[in-house]
Amino acid sequence: MKERIKLLLLGCIIILASIYIVDGPIVAEEKQEKQEKQEKQEKQEKEKEEAFKLPKNVLSISKENTFPNTSEDFEVIEPSKMTKELLDGVDIPVDNPDLIKLLNESTIKPTPIAFGYRAHVYLGRWPLNYQSENTSVIWDYDPINKNELNNIGGDVVQEIRYVQQNQKETKGALTNKIEHPEIIKKMMLQKATKKTNLPLSFSTVVGTNTKLDNFYNVPTKKIGYLHAFSPAVNEKGKITFGEVYIQLKGSEKEIVIKNVTKQGIGAWIPIQDHVSFSFQLK
Share of the chain above pLDDT 70, in %: 79
SS (H, E, C) 178-207: CCCHHHHHHHHHHHHHHHHCCCECCEEEEC
What is the rounded CA–CA span in Å between residue 269 and residue 174?
A: 9
Q: What is the pLDDT of residue 110?
A: 57
CA distance 164 to 143: 12
Higher pLDDT, 180 or 24: 180
Rounded to whole angstroms, the Cα distance separating 186 from 235 reads 12
Residue pair 192/235 in contact (Cβ under 8 Å)? The answer is: yes
Q: DSSP for 107-166, please give it.
A: -----TT-TT-EEEEEEEEEEEEEEEEEEEEEEEEEEEEEEEEE-TT-SS-EEEEEE--S
Write down the pTM of the prediction.
0.79
Residue 43 has pLDDT above 60, yes or no: no
Q: Looking at the predicted structure, is the pLDDT value of residue 184 above 60? A: yes
Task: Check residue 183 and give its pLDDT.
Answer: 95
Selection from 59, 76, 66 nearest residue 271 by Cα = 59
pLDDT digits 0-9 by tens, 5-22 = 666 666 666 665 565 555
**Nearest residue to 238 (alpha-carbon basis) of 258, 259, 266:** 266
Beta strands at 211-218 and 252-270: parallel, antiparallel or unpaired: unpaired
Residue 172, SS3? coil
CB 161 within 8 A of CB 218: no
Q: How confident is the model at residue 267 (pLDDT cuts 50, 70, 90)?
A: very high
pLDDT digits (tens, 9 = 90+) for 107-123: 766 555 555 567 778 99
Residue 161 has pLDDT above 80, yes or no: yes
Q: Is the pLDDT of residue 83 over 80?
A: yes
Q: Taking residues 50-78, report their average pLDDT.
A: 89
214 membership: H or E segment, kind and range: strand 211-218
Instruction: For residue 247, name the pLDDT band (cuts at 50, 70, 90).
Output: confident
pLDDT at 194 over 70: yes
